[in-house]
Structure 1
Amino acid sequence: MHSHGWRSVYCMPKRPAFKGSAPVNLSDRLHQVLRWALGSVEIMLSRHCPIWYGYGFGLKWLERISYINSIVYPLTSVPLIAYCTLPAVCLLTGKFIVPEISNYASIIFIALFISIAATGILEM
């Protein structure tokens, strides 16, 4: 909608415009989050992905970054799971968490660190 000239406006009326419902148990919550994540990935894989869609149509840089952050957010779970399990694996195997710089694993470690840092920067 933004790429077609529409502008967003924050509206907060005195009387609630609608009432919604939230999931009441963990199972319903996980299904809702899964639907959101699948929808975001579908948008990312479609032709309407904000990475390449909307150039020259009035989509501002901050709007584009916001949309990209919302569709890439489900994929950030992969580096976070690796980042959380890496110390446990290192403790169990008795090896240091940072590999030698001449090793191929160091490239993977640096890529993982950069992806987590980029995730933090995008969320700010």
Structure 2
Amino acid sequence: MELSNYFYRTLIYSEVKGQVHVYEKLPPHSLIPLDPWLGRVMQLADGQHTLQEMIDYVASQYQGDIPENYLKTIGSVIERLIETEAVALSQTPYTLPYHLAMPKEHQDPAVAERSMKEAGYPTA
């Protein structure tokens, strides 16, 4: 995995009571809760930061007391999100469409619906 690649989410997400959820891409768009690690990476997958920047940022949150298995854990999380196509990689910065740019509960429904249609996102 090339750490200089930018990473971006491909699924609509939501933040419900401190937990990140994603919506399945195909209707009926069921809501799937993510474990904390997966959720954190989904929140950070804005297309404007590289994998290395994200790894460094999350590590900085530990204030010098980084867990021994941090790199292995974060690598596994990234691989799982890429394998499930919840996150994709780009060699250049990627601008997210409106419906992916923020949690669903912060979106204007009409604008989100239009954005989804323009992007070819399956709608109900």
Q: TM-score, normalised by structure 2?
A: 0.26
As a proportion of its length, which structure holds more strand?
Answer: 2
Rg: which structure is higher? 1
Query: Whose RCO is larger (CA < 8 A, sep 6+)?
Result: 2
Q: TM-score, normalised by structure 1?
A: 0.26
As a proportion of its length, which structure holds more helix?
Answer: 1
